[in-house]
Structure formats: structure tokens, C-alpha cells
Amino acid sequence: EDQVTQSPEALRLQEGESSSLNCSYTVSGLRGLFWYRQDPGKGPEFLFTLYSAGEEKEKERLKATLTKKESFLHITAPKPEDSATYLCAVRGAGGTSYGKLTFGQGTILTVHP
């Protein structure tokens, strides 16, 4: 069974204070690792897809990296508008559940001005 663990559960930063969020996973044959951002009362907003170890993707102040066991979401010089819950999800190759994403519990990020 695919499993995803995110840490920390909550992270409070000062504006401009860079940090990283961790996503540890176990999966039978990774077919994709996904990062989403979720604001209160809204659906998850897609950020990145990573497929293989060593892959990196960047978007504005965010950079996602992937190893065989974990992914990191690096936030450089965050701003208050980066405050949100960040979700990590994986899809494995196991069985015939080609559609199922397994999500972590999320990291609640708060950036103070």
C-alpha cells in the first residue's frame, strides 16, 4: 500500500525566511509525485509533477526536488501570500488503480510579515 508522510505538520516563517517542506513516501513503482497548494475553503491547486529521482522543477519562489524516498518543496524568501496548506501525493504502479492518488496530511505554512 502506498504511503505518504509530510513534515512538519505546521511551519511558521518570517517573510524572507527560506525553508523546506518534506514529503516521505513508499510506493510500488512511482508513476508520479505531485505537489498541490490548498487555500482555506478551496480545492487543491496544482504546483508540480515529478517523475524520477533527480528531477527538479521551479516556479517563482518554489522549487520541488525528488529522490527515491522523499521530495522536498523549497521556499525561497517567502511572502505572506505563500501561506497555505501544501499537499504531497503519489501514484504508484500497484494493481489496477491507475487513478488513485495517495495524499499526505499536508503542511500548514504561515508566513508572517
Partner 1 sequence: GAGVSQSPSNKVTEKGKDVELRCDPISGHTALYWYRQRLGQGLEFLIYFQGNSAPDKSGLPSDRFSAERTGESVSTLTIQRTQQEDSAVYLCASSPRTSGGLADTQYFGPGTRLTVL
For residue 25, the cross-strand partners are: 4
Q: What residues from 27 to 46 belong to the interface with partner 1 (CB under 8 A)?
A: 31-32, 34, 36, 42-46
* 78 lies in the site for partner 1, by CB under 8 A: no
Confirm if 90 and 68 have CB atoms less than 8 A apart.
no
- Is residue 74 helix, strand or coil? strand
Grid cell for residue 99: 487513478
Grid cell for residue 4: 505518504
**Interface residue with partner 1, options 89, 107, 109, 111 (CB under 8 A):** 89
**Interface residue with partner 1, options 20, 105, 110, 112 (CB under 8 A):** 105
Residues that bind partner 1 (CB under 8 A): 31-32, 34, 36, 42-46, 49, 51, 87, 89, 91, 93, 96-106
